Structure 1
Amino acid sequence: MDGKDRRKDWVARAPRTAGLERIEAYFGGRGYEMHRHDTYAIGRTLSGVQSFHYRRGLRHSLPGGTLVLHPDEAHDGQAGTDAGFRYRMLYVEPALVQRMLGGQPLPFVPGGLSDDPRLRAAAEPLLRTMSQPLDPLEEADALYDLAQALATVAGQRGGRRAFDYGAAERARQRIHDGLAGRLTLADLEAASGRDRWSLSRDFRALYGVSPYRYATLRRLDVCRRLMLAGQGLAEAALAAGFTDQSHMSRHFSAAYGMPPGRWLAMLRAGA
Structure 2
Amino acid sequence: MSKLSNCSDWMVRAADHDHLERIEAFFSDHAYESHQHDTFAIGRTLSGVQSFHYRGALRHSQHGMTMVLHPDEKHDGSAGTQDGFHYKMMYVEPALIQKIMKGKPLPFFKQGLSDDPRLYRVTHTLLQNMHDPLDRLEEEDALYDLATTLYEVAGQPFSTRQSYDYIAAEKAREFIHASLDQNISLDDLEQNIGRDRWSLSRDFRLLFGTSPHRYMTMRRLDIVKRCLMYGESLTQAAIIAGFFDQSHMTRHFTKAYGITPARWKQIYSPQQ
1:111 lines up with 2:106 in the alignment: no
Paired residue for 2:241?
A: 240
SS of residue paired to 1:108 = coil
Deviation, structure 1 residue 79: 0.1
What SS does the corresponding residue of 1:219 show, helix, strand or coil? helix
Give ranges in structure 1 of 5+ residues lacking alignment. none
Q: Which segments of structure 1 move beyond 6 Å, counting only runs of 4 or more?
A: 2-7
- Distance in 2, Cα, partners of 1:81 & 1:186: 50
CA positional deviation for 1:97 = 0.6
Which residue identity is paired with 2:137? L
Name the CA shift for 1:207/1:41 in 2 (closer, same or farther; >3 Å): same
- Kept in 2, the 8 Å contact 1:179–1:215? The answer is yes
Shift of 1:3: 8.7
Structure (1/2) with the larger helix percentage: 1
Match of 1:120 in 2: 120
Instruction: Give the letter for the 1:16 counterpart.
Output: D
| Contact 1:10 1:270 (8 Å CA) reproduced | no
Equivalent pair of 2:13/2:269 in contact (CA under 8 Å): no
Contact 1:6 1:28 in 2 (8 A): no
Structure 2 partner of 1:23? 23
Distance in 1 of aligned mates of 2:254 and 2:134: 29
Say whether residues 1:184 and 2:203 are aligned partners: no
Aligned letter for 1:243? Answer: F
When residues 2 and 117 of structure 1 are mapped into structure 2, their CA distance, relative to the original with a 3 A threshold, is farther
Q: Which residue of the partner structure matches residue 99 of structure 2? A: 99
Q: Equivalences for 1:144-183 in 2 at 5 Å? A: 144-157=144-157, 158=159, 160-183=161-184
Residue 160 of structure 1: CA displacement?
Answer: 2.5
For the pair 1:135 / 2:99, whether they are aligned, the reply is no
Structure 1 match to 2:39: 39
Q: CA deviation at 1:18?
A: 2.2
CA deviation after TM superposition for structure 1 residue 268, in Å = 3.5
**Cα displacement (A) at 1:2:** 8.5
- For residues 176 and 25 of structure 2, the distance between their equivalents in structure 1, rounded to whole angstroms, comes to 31
Shift of 1:7: 7.0
Number of the residue aligned with 2:52:
52
Asked if the contact 1:51–1:60 (Cα under 8 Å) also holds between the matched residues in 2, the reply is: yes
Superposition CA RMSD, Å: 1.7
Letter in 2 for 1:177: A
1:54, distance to aligned residue in structure 2 (A):
0.3
| Cα deviation 1:30-69 (Å, max 9, x = unaligned) | 0000000101000000000000000000000010110000
Aligned mates of 1:130, 1:225 — CA distance in 2? 17
- Change over 3 Å in CA distance of 1:156–1:198 after alignment to 2: same
State the distance in 1 between where 2:44 and 2:77 align: 13
SS at match of 2:242: coil
How does the TM-score come out when normalised to structure 2? 0.96
Aligned to 1:189, the other structure's residue is in SS state helix
Answer whether contact 1:55 1:111 (CA < 8 A) is retained. Answer: yes
Residue in structure 2 matched with residue 261 of structure 1 by the alignment = 262
CA distance in 1, matches of 2:130, 2:271: 12
* C-alpha distance 269-225 of structure 1, shift in aligned 2 (>3 A): closer
Summarize the Cα distance change of 1:202–1:80 in structure 2 as closer, same or farther, 3 Å threshold.
Answer: same
Summarize deviations over 1:97-141 as a string: whole Å, max 9, x none: 111111100111120000111111110111121111111111110
**Structure 2 unaligned runs (5+)?**
none
Output the CA distance in 2 between the equivalents of 1:4 and 1:254. Answer: 25
TM-score, normalization by structure 1: 0.96
> What is the SS of the residue equivalent to 1:127?
coil
CA distance in 2, matches of 1:57, 1:200: 29
The Cα shift of 1:5 comes to 7.3
